Protein backbone atom coordinates (compact mmCIF):
# COMPACT_ATOMS: atom_id res chain seq x y z
CA UNK A 1 0.00 0.00 0.00
CA UNK A 2 1.42 3.38 -1.02
CA UNK A 3 0.37 6.58 0.79
CA UNK A 4 -1.96 7.44 -2.07
CA UNK A 5 -3.79 4.12 -1.55
CA UNK A 6 -4.66 4.70 2.11
CA UNK A 7 -8.37 5.10 2.64
CA UNK A 8 -9.46 8.33 4.35
CA UNK A 9 -11.39 6.23 6.87
CA UNK A 10 -8.29 4.27 7.90
CA UNK A 11 -6.22 7.44 8.18
CA UNK A 12 -8.93 9.09 10.30
CA UNK A 13 -8.53 6.30 12.88
CA UNK A 14 -4.80 6.83 13.44
CA UNK A 15 -3.09 9.24 15.84
CA UNK A 16 0.69 9.64 15.80
CA UNK A 17 2.22 9.90 19.29
CA UNK A 18 5.04 12.45 19.17
CA UNK A 19 6.72 11.41 22.40
CA UNK A 20 9.94 13.40 22.04
CA UNK A 21 11.26 16.59 23.64
CA UNK A 22 12.60 18.27 20.50
CA UNK A 23 10.16 20.30 18.41
CA UNK A 24 12.34 20.18 15.28
CA UNK A 25 12.54 16.39 15.47
CA UNK A 26 8.81 16.15 16.14
CA UNK A 27 8.03 18.43 13.19
CA UNK A 28 10.14 16.36 10.84
CA UNK A 29 8.46 13.19 12.04
CA UNK A 30 5.05 14.78 11.56
CA UNK A 31 5.84 15.65 7.95
CA UNK A 32 7.04 12.12 7.23
CA UNK A 33 4.01 10.44 8.76
CA UNK A 34 1.25 12.76 7.50
CA UNK A 35 0.17 10.41 4.66
CA UNK A 36 -0.81 7.74 7.23
CA UNK A 37 -2.03 9.75 10.26
CA UNK A 38 -4.74 12.38 10.64
CA UNK A 39 -4.09 13.23 14.29
CA UNK A 40 -0.86 14.34 15.99
CA UNK A 41 -0.70 13.54 19.70
CA UNK A 42 1.35 16.05 21.68
CA UNK A 43 2.19 14.72 25.11
CA UNK A 44 3.53 16.17 28.33
CA UNK A 45 7.16 15.78 27.26
CA UNK A 46 6.91 17.77 24.03
CA UNK A 47 4.49 20.36 25.41
CA UNK A 48 6.75 20.95 28.42
CA UNK A 49 9.72 21.45 26.11
CA UNK A 50 8.10 23.74 23.54
CA UNK A 51 4.79 25.01 24.93
CA UNK A 52 1.81 26.21 22.89
CA UNK A 53 4.04 26.86 19.87
CA UNK A 54 3.96 23.10 19.38
CA UNK A 55 0.28 23.15 18.49
CA UNK A 56 0.67 25.54 15.57
CA UNK A 57 3.39 23.41 13.97
CA UNK A 58 1.10 20.43 13.57
CA UNK A 59 -2.02 22.41 12.72
CA UNK A 60 -0.04 24.00 9.89
CA UNK A 61 1.00 20.53 8.68
CA UNK A 62 -2.66 19.56 8.39
CA UNK A 63 -3.17 17.47 11.53
CA UNK A 64 -5.89 17.56 14.11
CA UNK A 65 -4.03 17.95 17.41
CA UNK A 66 -4.57 15.69 20.41
CA UNK A 67 -3.16 17.38 23.52
CA UNK A 68 -2.37 14.60 25.97
CA UNK A 69 -1.64 16.40 29.25
CA UNK A 70 -3.86 14.26 31.50
CA UNK A 71 -5.09 17.17 33.61
CA UNK A 72 -5.61 16.33 37.28
CA UNK A 73 -6.04 18.91 40.04
CA UNK A 74 -8.83 20.55 41.97
CA UNK A 75 -11.81 21.40 39.74
CA UNK A 76 -11.18 25.17 39.77
CA UNK A 77 -7.58 24.78 38.65
CA UNK A 78 -8.44 22.23 35.98
CA UNK A 79 -11.25 24.43 34.68
CA UNK A 80 -8.94 27.45 34.37
CA UNK A 81 -6.21 25.41 32.67
CA UNK A 82 -8.76 23.87 30.30
CA UNK A 83 -10.00 27.34 29.36
CA UNK A 84 -6.49 28.22 28.19
CA UNK A 85 -6.07 24.94 26.32
CA UNK A 86 -9.47 25.31 24.69
CA UNK A 87 -8.27 28.48 22.97
CA UNK A 88 -5.32 26.79 21.21
CA UNK A 89 -7.17 25.12 18.35
CA UNK A 90 -6.67 21.53 19.45
CA UNK A 91 -9.26 18.81 18.84
CA UNK A 92 -8.78 16.60 21.92
CA UNK A 93 -7.56 17.12 25.49
CA UNK A 94 -7.06 14.36 28.06
CA UNK A 95 -8.20 14.61 31.68
CA UNK A 96 -7.71 11.98 34.40
CA UNK A 97 -11.05 10.36 35.23
CA UNK A 98 -9.68 9.56 38.69
CA UNK A 99 -10.27 13.25 39.50
CA UNK A 100 -13.99 12.54 39.63
CA UNK A 101 -17.05 13.90 37.82
CA UNK A 102 -16.83 17.43 39.22
CA UNK A 103 -13.26 17.85 37.96
CA UNK A 104 -14.14 16.33 34.59
CA UNK A 105 -17.11 18.69 34.27
CA UNK A 106 -14.87 21.65 35.05
CA UNK A 107 -12.57 20.54 32.24
CA UNK A 108 -15.43 20.15 29.76
CA UNK A 109 -16.79 23.60 30.65
CA UNK A 110 -13.35 25.22 30.55
CA UNK A 111 -12.55 23.80 27.13
CA UNK A 112 -15.86 25.07 25.76
CA UNK A 113 -15.40 28.53 27.27
CA UNK A 114 -11.85 28.88 25.98
CA UNK A 115 -12.81 27.78 22.49
CA UNK A 116 -15.82 30.10 22.39
CA UNK A 117 -13.68 33.08 23.43
CA UNK A 118 -11.29 32.28 20.57
CA UNK A 119 -14.06 31.67 18.05
CA UNK A 120 -13.18 27.99 17.72
CA UNK A 121 -14.99 24.68 17.98
CA UNK A 122 -14.54 23.19 21.47
CA UNK A 123 -12.04 20.36 21.88
CA UNK A 124 -13.32 16.97 22.94
CA UNK A 125 -12.51 16.09 26.55
CA UNK A 126 -11.13 12.56 26.76
CA UNK A 127 -11.36 10.89 30.16
CA UNK A 128 -8.30 8.76 30.90
CA UNK A 129 -9.75 5.74 32.65
CA UNK A 130 -6.82 3.57 33.79
CA UNK A 131 -3.31 3.92 32.40
CA UNK A 132 -2.51 1.11 29.97
CA UNK A 133 0.71 0.45 31.90
CA UNK A 134 -1.41 -0.65 34.88
CA UNK A 135 -2.30 -4.33 35.00
CA UNK A 136 -3.76 -4.80 38.50
CA UNK A 137 -6.59 -2.26 38.78
CA UNK A 138 -9.33 -3.30 41.24
CA UNK A 139 -12.47 -4.88 39.84
CA UNK A 140 -15.11 -2.31 39.00
CA UNK A 141 -12.72 0.65 38.84
CA UNK A 142 -12.98 1.03 35.08
CA UNK A 143 -16.78 1.00 35.16
CA UNK A 144 -16.78 3.62 37.92
CA UNK A 145 -14.49 5.98 35.99
CA UNK A 146 -16.41 5.39 32.78
CA UNK A 147 -19.50 6.51 34.68
CA UNK A 148 -17.71 9.70 35.70
CA UNK A 149 -16.96 10.44 32.04
CA UNK A 150 -20.60 9.98 31.06
CA UNK A 151 -21.83 12.08 33.99
CA UNK A 152 -19.46 14.91 33.08
CA UNK A 153 -20.44 14.74 29.39
CA UNK A 154 -16.94 14.01 28.15
CA UNK A 155 -16.78 13.19 24.47
CA UNK A 156 -14.56 10.17 24.76
CA UNK A 157 -12.57 7.81 26.94
CA UNK A 158 -8.99 6.59 26.76
CA UNK A 159 -8.89 2.90 27.54
CA UNK A 160 -7.14 -0.37 26.80
CA UNK A 161 -8.47 -2.66 24.10
CA UNK A 162 -9.65 -5.21 26.66
CA UNK A 163 -12.02 -2.56 28.08
CA UNK A 164 -13.73 -1.75 24.78
CA UNK A 165 -16.55 -4.22 25.35
CA UNK A 166 -17.49 -2.36 28.54
CA UNK A 167 -17.50 0.95 26.69
CA UNK A 168 -19.78 -0.52 24.02
CA UNK A 169 -22.10 -1.88 26.71
CA UNK A 170 -22.22 1.09 29.08
CA UNK A 171 -21.34 4.18 27.04
CA UNK A 172 -21.45 3.53 23.30
CA UNK A 173 -21.83 7.26 22.64
CA UNK A 174 -18.23 7.90 23.74
CA UNK A 175 -15.30 7.88 21.35
CA UNK A 176 -12.95 5.07 22.40
CA UNK A 177 -9.30 6.08 22.13
CA UNK A 178 -6.86 3.18 22.50
CA UNK A 179 -3.12 3.53 23.14
CA UNK A 180 -0.72 0.63 23.56
CA UNK A 181 -1.16 -0.52 19.95
CA UNK A 182 1.47 -3.01 18.84
CA UNK A 183 1.43 -5.07 15.63
CA UNK A 184 2.40 -8.73 16.00
CA UNK A 185 6.10 -9.09 16.66
CA UNK A 186 6.62 -5.54 17.98
CA UNK A 187 7.84 -5.15 21.58
CA UNK A 188 5.19 -3.96 24.05
CA UNK A 189 7.72 -1.85 26.05
CA UNK A 190 5.93 -0.46 29.15
CA UNK A 191 2.43 -1.14 27.83
CA UNK A 192 0.89 -3.68 30.17
CA UNK A 193 -2.21 -4.32 28.02
CA UNK A 194 -1.20 -3.98 24.35
CA UNK A 195 -3.34 -4.95 21.35
CA UNK A 196 -2.87 -5.27 17.62
CA UNK A 197 -4.48 -2.67 15.34
CA UNK A 198 -6.88 -5.25 13.90
CA UNK A 199 -8.00 -6.47 17.32
CA UNK A 200 -8.62 -2.96 18.67
CA UNK A 201 -10.60 -1.83 15.61
CA UNK A 202 -12.55 -5.09 15.60
CA UNK A 203 -13.56 -4.52 19.21
CA UNK A 204 -14.84 -1.01 18.56
CA UNK A 205 -11.91 1.40 18.94
CA UNK A 206 -12.56 4.77 17.32
CA UNK A 207 -9.00 6.14 17.38
CA UNK A 208 -5.72 4.25 17.75
CA UNK A 209 -2.66 5.94 19.25
CA UNK A 210 0.52 4.75 17.55
CA UNK A 211 3.92 5.73 18.89
CA UNK A 212 6.98 3.55 19.27
CA UNK A 213 5.64 0.88 16.93
CA UNK A 214 6.38 3.44 14.20
CA UNK A 215 8.84 5.93 15.67
CA UNK A 216 11.27 3.26 16.94
CA UNK A 217 11.05 1.22 13.75
CA UNK A 218 14.01 0.94 11.40
CA UNK A 219 11.47 1.65 8.64
CA UNK A 220 8.87 4.09 10.01
CA UNK A 221 7.07 4.49 6.69
CA UNK A 222 6.86 0.73 6.23
CA UNK A 223 5.58 0.26 9.78
CA UNK A 224 2.97 2.98 9.32
CA UNK A 225 1.90 1.44 6.03
CA UNK A 226 1.47 -1.98 7.65
CA UNK A 227 -0.64 -0.55 10.48
CA UNK A 228 -2.81 1.48 8.10
CA UNK A 229 -3.38 -1.61 6.01
CA UNK A 230 -4.44 -3.62 9.07
CA UNK A 231 -6.85 -0.87 10.09
CA UNK A 232 -8.32 -0.61 6.59
CA UNK A 233 -8.97 -4.36 6.53
CA UNK A 234 -10.55 -4.33 10.00
CA UNK A 235 -12.94 -1.42 9.44
Active site residues: 70
Q: Which residues contact 192 (CB under 8 A, 6 or more apart)?
A: 132, 133, 134, 135, 180
Q: Cα–Cα distance between 54 and 43 in angstroms, integer?
A: 10
The answer to whether 160 and 195 have CB atoms below 8 angstroms apart is: yes
Pairing label, strands 175-178, 156-158:
parallel
How big is the CA angle at 96 (ends 91 and 97), to the nearest 5 degrees?
A: 105
For residue 215, which of 7, 82, 40 has the smallest C-alpha distance? Answer: 40
Q: Compute φ and ψ for 82, nearest 5 degrees.
A: -65, -35
Amino acid sequence: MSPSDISPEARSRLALALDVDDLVEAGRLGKRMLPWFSVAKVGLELFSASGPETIGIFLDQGYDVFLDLKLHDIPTTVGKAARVLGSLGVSYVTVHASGGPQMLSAAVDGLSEGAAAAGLAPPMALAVSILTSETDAPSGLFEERLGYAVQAECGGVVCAANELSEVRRLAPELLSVVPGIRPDGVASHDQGRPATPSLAIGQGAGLLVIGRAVTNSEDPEGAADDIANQVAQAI
